[in-house]
């Protein structure tokens, strides 16, 4: 399905599927195992110098209220049934009637930086509180982040236009495909707006078609955005986010066993060999690998498990999680060090299969090519989830300098009344209650790490950066 480019540029979130696949897969698993758990989420602006005006905030609130009007269409349901067969029939039935309820579940607030005059051009910091059942609120993250970014670039930084976005994405795609990179577009959360993401993905698809004609070694795997995947008749890409591990750890309050429990329940929902890319860094990669090395413990209703001779389901597998999972995702810390850690780990486990490493942390062309070389030298299959570099790469028309994206995140902050935290492999990505973070670090024997390229306030450049020709 192609786009009707004669229609006006869409504003805001236009479809239930205008989200990333991993939100749907996690909601499916939450519905199965934690349907009644209450949670909260916290919004963080890691670029606090980027503020909204009251007018921008009012537009944001209007768009947030519209989220309650969006539901899954019949065409979207058929698409999920056809292209996402791992989503269970009970979950798809649940989605038919599912609605977000922003008036009940969200509380956006505007805090002026100076005297509160009520003027439309008054600047302030925004805060968004999210609360409700996990299964009911898990889908807010992507649309809220996308809408906040859109509000900033619609009202605050307006010195830009769409000219050349599709062509720029095409040439980026060609460079990556010529270099042999396998890539996916991961840019929903911090895109400039939906139209930008659509232009970008159209450019990438064009690059992919030309690459196939030229027999280039690289490949476009798809996009994490389910709506765009549907419009281009491609399967969406994605597996799981930190939220799954954070939520289970908070619910159980057992950080020594939380990673194993998260892996066990993921397989319990989807089966072995399905959605099999593991995210390692929620509580630090070393702690995760202890769980990853253990034999799989099956839950009673785990799908697609071979039965024993007597016709019963086994309780434990002869294989470990590390053997069954296709690979891992690197999302924080030094990628070169991570590759070495994973090579040492797999060798210590006697695992000879060629595993995949998905790189997804603030990538650009140079980083993808460098990480590809490093990973392949260690015997891995590298793939790349490229986001903000594709969907929010603009220059200021008046100066020719970079129009810098916002760095905003929404993370689970509590589950079942307990604080939810993320530690990661880089101190700049620590998230959640500081006392709980310190407690868990001590419990797990976490070794503090900093990475030279890990400054979260300038991940995609600074306002005075000149643009490379």
- 394 contacts 372 by C-beta, under 8 angstroms: no
Q: Give the confidence band of 462 by pLDDT, cuts at 50, 70, 90.
A: low
- 291 contacts 55 by C-beta, under 8 angstroms: no
pLDDT at position 452 over 80 = no
Residues 362-389 have pLDDT tens digits of 999 999 999 999 999 999 999 999 999 9
User: Percentage helix, strand, coil, to 5, in the chain?
Assistant: 40, 15, 40
> Whole-angstrom Cα distance, residue 39 to residue 412?
7
Q: Give the confidence band of 9 by pLDDT, cuts at 50, 70, 90.
A: confident
User: Which of 282, 280, 292 lies closest to 337 in space, CA to CA?
Assistant: 280
- DSSP at 91: H
List phi, psi (to 5°) of 453: -95, 20
Output the pLDDT for position 23.
98
**Opening angle at CA 221, ends 215 and 224, nearest 5:** 155
SS (H, E, C) 59-88: HHHHHHHHHHHCCCCHHHHHHHHHHCCCCC
**Opening angle at CA 178, ends 176 and 182, nearest 5:** 50
| Predicted structure pTM score | 0.95
Here the tokens at position 458 are 């300038």
Residues 298-337 have pLDDT tens digits of 999 899 888 888 888 899 999 999 999 999 999 999 999 9
Is residue 446 classed exposed, middle or buried when 0-12, 13-18 and 19+ CB atoms within 10 A define those classes?
Answer: middle
Output the pLDDT for position 5.
47
> Whole-angstrom Cα distance, residue 408 to residue 392?
13
The residues facing 70 across adjacent strands are none
Residues 205-247 have pLDDT tens digits of 999 999 999 999 999 999 999 999 999 999 899 999 999 999 9
Is residue 396 classed exposed, middle or buried when 0-12, 13-18 and 19+ CB atoms within 10 A define those classes?
Answer: middle
Residue tagged 């006392």 (tokens):
435
């Amino acid at each position: 399905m192609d786009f009707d480019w004669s229609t006006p540029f869409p504003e805001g979130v236009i479809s239930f599927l205008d989200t990333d696949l991993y939100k749907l897969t996690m909601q499916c698993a939450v519905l199965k195992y934690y349907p009644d758990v209450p949670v909260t989420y916290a919004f963080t602006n890691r670029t606090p110098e980027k503020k909204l005006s009251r007018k921008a905030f009012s537009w944001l609130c209007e768009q947030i209220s519209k989220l309650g009007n969006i539901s899954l269409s019949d065409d979207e349901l058929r698409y999920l049934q056809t292209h996402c067969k791992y989503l269970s029939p009970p979950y798809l039935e649940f989605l038919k009637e599912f609605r977000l309820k922003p008036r009940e579940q969200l509380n956006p607030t505007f805090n002026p930086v100076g005297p509160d005059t009520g003027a439309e051009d008054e600047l302030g910091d925004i805060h968004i509180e999210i609360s409700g059942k996990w299964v009911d609120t898990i889908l807010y993250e992507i649309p809220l982040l996308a809408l906040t970014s859109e509000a900033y670039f619609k009202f605050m930084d307006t010195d830009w236009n769409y000219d050349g976005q599709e062509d720029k994405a095409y040439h980026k795609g060609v460079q990556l495909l010529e270099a042999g990179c396998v890539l996916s577009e991961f840019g929903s959360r911090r895109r400039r707006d939906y139209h930008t993401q659509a232009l970008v993905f159209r450019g990438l698809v064009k690059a992919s078609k030309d690459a196939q004609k030229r027999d280039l070694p690289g490949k476009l795997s798809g996009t994490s955005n389910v709506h765009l995947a549907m419009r281009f008749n491609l399967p969406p890409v994605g597996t799981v986010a930190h939220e799954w591990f954070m939520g289970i750890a908070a619910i159980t309050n057992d950080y020594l066993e939380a990673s194993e429990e998260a892996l066990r329940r993921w397989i319990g929902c989807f089966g072995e060999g399905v959605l099999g890319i593991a995210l390692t860094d929620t509580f630090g990669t070393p702690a995760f690998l202890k769980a990853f090395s253990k034999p799989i413990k099956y839950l009673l209703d785990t799908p697609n498990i071979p039965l024993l001779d007597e016709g019963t389901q086994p309780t434990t597998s002869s294989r470990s999680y590390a053997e069954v999972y296709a690979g891992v995702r690197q999302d924080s810390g030094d990628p070169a060090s991570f590759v070495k850690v994973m090579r040492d780990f797999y060798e210590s486990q006697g695992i000879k299969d060629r595993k995949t490493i998905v790189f997804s942390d603030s990538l650009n062309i140079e980083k993808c090519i460098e990480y590809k070389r490093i990973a392949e030298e260690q015997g891995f299959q590298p793939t790349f989830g490229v986001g903000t570099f594709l969907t929010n790469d603009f220059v200021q028309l008046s100066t020719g300098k970079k129009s810098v994206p916002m760095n905003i995140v929404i993370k689970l902050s509590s589950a079942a009344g307990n604080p939810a935290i993320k530690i990661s492999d880089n101190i700049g990505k620590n998230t959640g209650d500081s006392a709980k973070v310190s407690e868990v670090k001590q419990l797990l024997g976490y070794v503090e790490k900093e990475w030279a390229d890990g400054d979260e306030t300038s991940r995609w450049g600074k306002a005075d950066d000149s643009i490379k020709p």
